[in-house]
């Protein structure tokens, strides 16, 4: 009887430890999903082969301001946006709220099409799957048609708002690129 009680206790203890282990792993995993994946500077060094051009700014006024408001559904924070341009390529570092926190994206546009898009910093607790190349490569070669992407982007379950934020930012970068190349 006593032996059985000890055995039960051991099983309960092992089960509790395993459960605690799983919880700690999940917490560690979710925490590791947040953070800065690449600094702005490293992103630019990578995009422009270690020699980024001097930055330029575009002021958010009039038609541009309204156009971006139409794309995002709200005004973009800030009166000016910085970008880096060399030959046909322009690089943009833009932020958009996922659910409650800002996600920092790096978008490269070449010849009016998306060259690449990256998540530079992710601060939400969920939805960081959008940073995986398997997802971001869907944007490669996408253009803008009537202020919207010319293709459908497959979503990720559990990351709907992050996917939405990335799609809007890519549309915004394409719109900005079109504006500076007018």
Partner 1 sequence: MNRQMRFLHRTMGAVIAVFVLIFSLTGILLNHSSDLELDQEYLTWNWVLAHYGISNIEPDVVYFLDQHVISQFDSRVFIDAIPAINSHKPILGGVVIDDLMLLTTEDELLLFSHDGEFIEKMTESAGIPPLIQNIGLFHGEPVVQTRQGMWRSDFMLEEWEAISLEGIAWSEPQSLPSAVEDELADYFRGKGISVERVILDLHNGRLAGSFSVWIIDILGLMLTFISITGIWLWLKRR
Footprint of partner 1 on this chain (CB under 8 A)? 39-41, 43-44, 52, 54-55, 57, 77-82, 84, 93, 102, 123
How near is the Cβ of 80 to partner 1 at its closest, in Å? 5
How near is the Cβ of 123 to partner 1 at its closest, in Å? 7
Of residues 44 and 144, the one with the C-beta less far from partner 1: 44
How near is the Cβ of 96 to partner 1 at its closest, in Å? 13
Residue 156: other Cβ atoms inside 10 A: 16
For residues 170 and 114, the answer to whether their CB atoms sit within 8 Å is yes
Of residues 78 and 141, the one with the C-beta less far from partner 1: 78
Residue 118: other Cβ atoms inside 10 A: 19
Which structure tokens are listed for 36?
Answer: 């800065």
For residues 139 and 114, the answer to whether their CB atoms sit within 8 Å is yes
The SS3 of residue 53 is coil
Of residues 102 and 156, the one with the C-beta less far from partner 1: 102
């Amino acid at each position: 009887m006593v032996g059985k009680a000890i055995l039960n206790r051991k099983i309960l203890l092992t089960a509790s430890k395993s459960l605690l282990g799983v919880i700690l792993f999940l917490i560690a995993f979710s925490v590791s999903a947040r953070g800065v994946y690449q600094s702005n500077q490293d992103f630019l060094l990578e995009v422009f082969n270690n020699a980024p051009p001097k930055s330029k700014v575009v002021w958010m006024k009039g038609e541009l301001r309204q156009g971006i408001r139409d794309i995002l559904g709200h005004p973009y924070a800030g009166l000016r946006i910085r970008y880096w341009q060399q030959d046909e390529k322009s690089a943009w570092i833009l932020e958009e709220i996922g659910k409650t926190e800002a996600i920092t994206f790096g978008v490269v546009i070449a010849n009016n099409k998306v060259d690449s898009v990256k998540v530079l910093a992710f601060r939400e607790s969920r939805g960081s799957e959008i940073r995986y190349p398997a997802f971001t490569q869907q944007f490669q070669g996408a253009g803008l048609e009537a202020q919207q992407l010319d293709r459908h982007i497959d979503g990720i379950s559990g990351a709907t708002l992050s996917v939405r934020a990335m799609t809007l930012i890519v549309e915004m970068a394409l719109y900005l690129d079109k504006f500076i190349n007018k």
